[in-house]
Chains A and B, each alone.
Chain A
Amino acid sequence: MHNLIKITKRADMKRSQEAIIYTVAILLSIVCAGLVLLVLGLDPVNIFRSIVEGALGTEMRIQQTLTKAIPLLITSLGIIVAFKMNFWNIGAEGQITMGAFGAALVALHVPETMPLPLVLLMMFVTAVICGAVWAFIPAIFKAKLGTNETIFTLMMNYVAIKFVTYLQYGPWIDPNGSGFPRIAQFNSNCILPKLFGVNVGWIFALVCVVFVYFFMNHTKKGYEITVVGQSVETARYAGMNISRIIIIAMLISGGLCGTVGMIQASAVEKTLVAGIANGYGFTAIITAWLSKLNPIICAFVCLAFAALLQGGTYIQISLGVSSAVAGVVQGLILFFVLGSEFFIRYKLSFGHKKEVA
């Protein structure tokens, strides 16, 4: 009995072929999303047009889109550094949360009269340290004991979120909040300024893109991280100190995520809340993966994703459709694009054709 479909691993594929597969996947996802919308009794063309309009139609909408892209992009960059090493850092959510905690630690305790740049610098530094420490813990266990980093980093998320929840309900509760579980708002000397209507996090995000790109492609450490990712054996054979590389990469990864926490706490929330990471730590895994771990492509992918988020909010209001509709569209696009990875890595041969050796 012949197998009807045979799955074989592909050798390297041409760039152009990859591009075609991706295009097909995106087109298919749009067709499919359109069909689903049609079944739901909605007008797909109107919805798609509204999503684009809602994300880019006015200055305010562009600002909203950019504001959403900032945390997504910096987190993705952090994840890229870890993923390049085949270190599955699922803990960005927790690293963001701890970064925000670090920023709040400074913001809630400095006097109101301290100059803004100094406060922000202190918040930034503590956020980086806290995020990095949160990443360091699973990294050292991986390096020294070979623990599974996926589970470890994932669990660290919940520890961080529960820790902030505890602060919010307990020691840091706002004494003027009638007992409502929340932490007081930061003073105005702890708030990141805006430039062109968007918090200056966007400049930092761009700097990070350049930094990660340069670091991964043009430094010895970056090269070592890539080598470890491709083959630990090769790295060891070449005499690299693998533990050290793992730890350095995770410190950078966690530090980047920590700054996201600082930006969100300072510019967006203006305080610390348990939900500060807002799922960005998980969404960023997708965007990092979709961008093939390339920091520059990543910037565009994150922008597209943020546009989809903002467009989703827009259609809820303008067309009165439920938030689930935007979710369906997003989900389908992801499903197809990620699904197409399969066709890039594997080859399907049909029917009774003889394999050519």
Chain B
Amino acid sequence: MKKTLAILLVLVLGMTVLFTGCGSGSDEAAGGDGTEPTLKVGYIFIGAINDGGFTQSMYEGAMKAEEELGGQIETKYIENVSDGDISASTDAAMNLIDQGCNVIVGCSYGYMDALEALANSGDYDDVTFLHFSGNKMNDTNFDNWFGSMEQARYLTGMAAASVAKNGVLGYVAAHPYTEVQIGINAFTLGAQAVNPDVEVKVVYIGTWGDAEIEKTAAEQLIQAGAEVVCYHADSTATQVAAAEAGDVYAIGWNYPQNDCGDLYLTAAYWNTAAYFIPTFQSIMDGTFKPQSYYGTMADGLIAIDELSDAIPDDVKAKIEDTKAKMEAGEFEVFTGPIKYNDGSVLCEEGQTLDRAGIWSINKEVEGVTAISK
């Protein structure tokens, strides 16, 4: 026994020497280029940076911002942080701050209470907290940001309706919650602008991201007759389900990634650099003031991917036209008359919903049938 132990000890020592030999140098490289970055930005991600969806769109924006503001920004991040419990996001934020971050970007609605508590605790007054999709803020160091995704959803709805011969569209959705319902409703209105008789079938999966569940839900929708599927969930599993079915089109979400080849119509996505770059710049300039930022198609935060050739030319032209009108501020997605699918009125004839009105949506519009998994 003692002999084994001795051999092992020698082995460990040997390894240590070997490891140190291989690994040295990586440390010194970091601090070598002279100037210290002004901002250390720490991102809390709900998924992995290569998920082809939500987290990737956040990460690419972060990278673009770092590149654009050359040398002044250092990026740190932590992946797969649960938004179901406050301890996980508090823990992540505190660890990022501990490692020198002076800007914290929380990329999920569920991080809100954790970030608010830290921002208002008085211990982190020199740290700026930028929260995606929330509705809380303060006057000094806590801001929230989101965008009019209803615009992009509307346009992708038009694209979807144009290729669905039977008029059935499938929608894999996270939670039956305002943000998601805005997307579903805008998508449906867009689809109805092309084909008034479309039927949008929604499955709520009860999570922002779980590739297995997303895929099963997409398959369920395809079996129910959907000829186009789209999703409000973090992975591209819905696209994969479409590709496996072979004759079902898919629309991407969050990030312009095509995982279904010719069946990919377009994507509604976040061009997050459009928010990061000016915001980081203002923090560095000392002119930052927390706001409830709501990006649009016009300022570039909201985008759609190139349109597939499967979409008929006349619809393509109509989409481009609507998009131009949106950018010019001449087209509002939620313009009455619009009814919820239970018959109640969302928007009267001639009325247009403002941001507050849009964010009080709590049901699906006519033309949608929804089930929860």
User: Does any Cβ of A come within 8 Å of B340's Cβ?
Assistant: no
1/0 contact string of A260-294 vs chain B (CB within 8 Å): 00001000111101111010000000000000000
Which of the segments B6-14, B282-290, B344-352 contacts the partner chain?
Answer: B6-14
Known: A181-B177, A323-B80. A273 touches B12 (CB 8 A): no
Inter-chain CA distance A38–B16, complex, in Å, is 12
> Chain B residues near A320 (CB, 8 Å)?
76-77
Binding site for B on A (CB under 8 A): 17, 20-21, 23-24, 27-28, 30-31, 34-35, 38, 43-46, 54, 58, 60-61, 64, 169, 178-182, 185, 264, 268-271, 273-276, 278, 313-314, 316-318, 320, 322-323
> Chain A residues near B91 (CB, 8 Å)?
64, 313
Contact between B27 and A28, CB atoms less than 8 A apart: no
User: Does any Cβ of A come within 8 Å of B321's Cβ?
Assistant: no
Contact between A270 and B113, CB atoms less than 8 A apart: yes
1/0 contact string of B9-37 vs chain A (CB within 8 Å): 10110011001101100110000000000
Most buried by B among A44, A179, A185: A179
Kindly provide the distance from the CB of B322 to the nearest chain A CB, expressed in whole angstroms. 28
User: Does any Cβ of A come within 8 Å of B109's Cβ?
Assistant: yes
Kindly provide the distance from the CB of B149 to the nearest chain A CB, expressed in whole angstroms. 15
Known: A31-B11, A45-B20, A178-B177; 5 extra A-B contacts, CB below 8 A, are A24-B8, A27-B8, A44-B15, A44-B19, A45-B16
Contact between A313 and B27, CB atoms less than 8 A apart: no
User: Does any Cβ of A come within 8 Å of B95's Cβ?
Assistant: yes
From A24, A43, A269, give the contact of B4 (CB < 8 A): A24
Contact between B95 and A64, CB atoms less than 8 A apart: yes
From A45, A64, A269, A270, give the contact of B23 (CB < 8 A): A45
> Chain B residues near A54 (CB, 8 Å)?
95
Kindly provide the distance from the CB of B345 to the nearest chain A CB, expressed in whole angstroms. 19
Inter-chain CA distance A269–B110, complex, in Å, is 12
From B23, B80, B96, B135, give the contact of A178 (CB < 8 A): B135
> Chain B residues near A323 (CB, 8 Å)?
78-80
Contact between B78 and A45, CB atoms less than 8 A apart: no
From A17, A271, A273, A313, give the contact of B78 (CB < 8 A): A313
A sample of 12 cross-chain residue pairs with beta-carbon separation below 8 angstroms, ordered by A number, consists of A24-B5, A34-B19, A38-B19, A178-B179, A178-B359, A268-B87, A270-B117, A275-B84, A278-B87, A278-B88, A314-B95, A317-B99
Contact between B15 and A322, CB atoms less than 8 A apart: no
Most buried by A among B5, B8, B19, B48: B19
Known: A60-B98, A64-B95. A180 touches B175 (CB 8 A): yes
> Chain A residues near B19 (CB, 8 Å)?
34, 38, 43-45
From A17, A44, A58, A273, give the contact of B85 (CB < 8 A): A273
User: Does any Cβ of A come within 8 Å of B220's Cβ?
Assistant: no
Known: A31-B12, A43-B23, A318-B99. A23 touches B359 (CB 8 A): no
Kindly provide the distance from the CB of A63 to the nearest chain B CB, expressed in whole angstroms. 9
Most buried by B among A34, A38, A182: A182
From B23, B77, B362, give the contact of A46 (CB < 8 A): B23
Kindly provide the distance from the CB of B302 to the nearest chain A CB, expressed in whole angstroms. 20
> Chain A residues near B12 (CB, 8 Å)?
27, 30-31
1/0 contact string of B161-194 vs chain A (CB within 8 Å): 0000000000000011111010000000000000
**Which chain B residue shows the least CB distance to A71?**
B87
User: Does any Cβ of A come within 8 Å of B368's Cβ?
Assistant: no
Inter-chain CA distance A21–B4, complex, in Å, is 10
